Structure 1
Amino acid sequence: MGADLTNLKVAPASTKPGWPGVFALGLALRRARMARRISLRVLAYRVDIHPAVLSAWELGLRAPKLEDVARLLGCLHVKKAEYQEIIKIFRQIDGPTLIEPVSDLANPLLWHYEMTATRIFEWAPALVPNRLQTADYTQTILEHSVLGEDEMSRHSLACAAHPSIVDGDLPGIFDFLLGEPVLRSVTCSPQVMLDQLRYLQKVNELSHIRVRIVRGDASTNIVPPFSVYESTRTGATTIVHQSLHGVVYDADPQNAGRYLATTKAIQAAAASDSESMLMIAATINQLVLH
């Protein structure tokens, strides 16, 4: 093909592998290619670059320049609306923060982080985390939420297609820190909570999942829910949390440092593995007796 890796045009030096915008751009480029059923090698040949380079772009390990993106989209005959959306994503690759719109309930960027992270910490002060919810628990939460019917349907479909951490579909190690109020619910029936708590016991037996409880109702006031994604491949630590506008991805080192310190504080306040399982078992016994 004549493509020279050493002379490849790359993004500005300020752009770093593992930044949310770089990942989002890679996902968008891959979706555009896959939608047209073109293999990575064929597309790389058509735009005269090495397949390994295109693969790195799609995986978010490297960032292309604007002219590279334009060449790819032109070769794919992308329509104007999709073209503009991808260019909009490109213009966000030079910063460590990205907001994924709340309307995009499938959260493709979040899925990418889950599929590539080496270690994931999740703080859930009041609700069972999405990845650990049973179907009945999810349905109950949705029924008591402010989501419209269409949004509930899309959310349910997205959850159904979500990669399973229990089946080992995701490579990372998961450390879940749950506030004690998670063990109780004013919306779920006793049977739904029984099934949910027994499921927490089951997943905690897996080697790559750890579930611990932070005692006291005051635990919900420590900090709102957030997740920490660490990647040895990119060397980046990304904080993920919800805002009014969508899902926020923040790879700024200073912000990551603050959240990591908060994570350590919550871990220090959490019960041990055995104590946490005893707390769950005690709650199950209470539900059975009532």
Structure 2
Amino acid sequence: MNTPKSLLALLALSGSLRAVRTDRGLGLRKFADKLGVSAQTLSNWETGRRAPAIEEVAHLLGFLRVSPVERQRVMRLWYQLDSPTFIETLSPDTTCLQQKLDELAFRAWEWAPHTVPEPLQTAEYARAILQRDQAPPDDVDVELFLRQARQLDRKQPRQRTVLLSEAALAPAPESQLHAINTMADRPQLRIMLVPVTDRVGRIEPFTIYETHGKGFTVAFRHHDNVIFVSERSLVQSYQSTFKTLEREAIDHVDRA
């Protein structure tokens, strides 16, 4: 089939195909033999290097006798491959596909008006956020430990520009500004502050990713969903918004 328009739908589909196999304890080569395809072909489907045809997906799901509900969910992902918009509903037991984009992206441009992105947060900042949300003290300590563990495994785009609203620093401005200045010597990371204005405050957070083949995807949250958009005119609109914010930004300056 043609190259899918939705990279995220492809990643979600490939992850689902891999999960239905591994959940049944089947090795890749053994399962490929049973399906009558090469191990390389099945690997390509499960890693998102190639999108299977709908008949191939139906055959795979039928062979594994997945439940009607699971079959419907996976088939729905296939039908979204050619859509420039993909919506992921977050749940406590799933990992946001945006982390996959972090791993795949060459460059990323992020606007953070409310909260400093987690990879850039100091421990003091993270603690202040959790305490502000009235998390129990024991839960705060556990979450801080989990965040440290996530940082060890987290991969970031090769080049990243982050625009922070000055309002986002409020929970722990001194430690956070110091950390931003410390990060200034990283050539792949640029952080700038945007002064607070009424107009700036109305622009919700978003991230633009550039992946292989000069492909661009915009990711933004809406309630419990993450929406991924690759439609060219919408991407260009977000790129224009980011450039406007960047013109108003100032380089990180230690004001402590």
Query: The TM-score by the shorter chain falls in which range?
Result: 0.7 to 0.9
Secondary structure at the aligned position of 2:30 is classed as helix
Q: TM-score, normalised by structure 2?
A: 0.82
TM-superposed deviation, 1:121: 0.7
1:31 paired with 2:11, answer no
Counterpart amino acid of 1:258? S
Equivalent residue runs for 1:58-97 within 5 Å: 58-97=46-85
Residue 225 of structure 1 aligns with which residue? Answer: 205
Query: Cα distance 1:117–1:182, how it changes in 2: closer, same or farther (>3 A)?
Result: same
Look up the SS of the partner of 1:257 in the other structure.
helix
5+ residue gaps, structure 2: none
The answer for the alignment partner of 2:245 in structure 1 is: 266
Q: Name the structure 2 match of 1:201.
A: 181
Contiguous gaps of at least 5 residues in structure 1: 1-9, 286-290
Determine whether 1:130 maps to 2:118: yes
How many angstroms apart in 1 are the aligned matches of 2:93 and 2:147? 9
Q: Which residue of the other structure, out of 143, 156, 163, is the alignment partner of 1:170?
A: 156
Mapped to 2, the partners of 1:170 and 1:41 lie a distance apart of: 32
1:85 shift after superposition: 2.6
State the Cα distance separating 1:136 from its structure 2 match: 4.1
- Quick check: 1:97–1:251 contact (8 Å CA) kept in 2? yes
Any idea what the Cα deviations from partners look like across 1:161-203, whole Å, max 9, x if unmatched? Answer: 54558x8x335311111112223x2xx3xxx443333322233
Distance 2:143 2:20 in 1: 23
Decide whether aligned partners of structure 1 residues 74 and 161 sit closer, same or farther in structure 2, where only a CA change above 3 A counts: farther
C-alpha distance 64-174 of structure 1, shift in aligned 2 (>3 A):
same
Mark the CA change 1:82 to 1:201 in structure 2 (over 3 Å): closer, same or farther.
farther
SS at match of 2:108: strand
Match of 2:168, SS state, is helix
Which of 168, 172, 177 is matched with 1:182 structurally?
168
Please give the alpha-carbon distance, in whole angstroms, between the structure 2 residues aligned to 1:154 and 1:254. Answer: 43
Matched, 1:242 2:230: no
**Equivalent position SS for 2:217:** strand
TM-score (normalised: structure 1): 0.73
Aligned-pair identity in percent equals 28
Partner amino acid, structure 1, of 2:185: E
Which residue number in structure 2 is paired with residue 116 of structure 1?
104
Give the 3 Å change call, closer, same or farther, for CA 16–65 of structure 1 in structure 2. Answer: same
3-state DSSP of counterpart to 2:51 = coil
- Supply the distance in 1 between the matched residues of 2:201 and 2:17 (Cα, whole angstroms): 40
Paired residues, what number?
A: 255
> 2-side partners of 1:204 and 1:153: how far apart?
29
Aligned to 1:140: 128
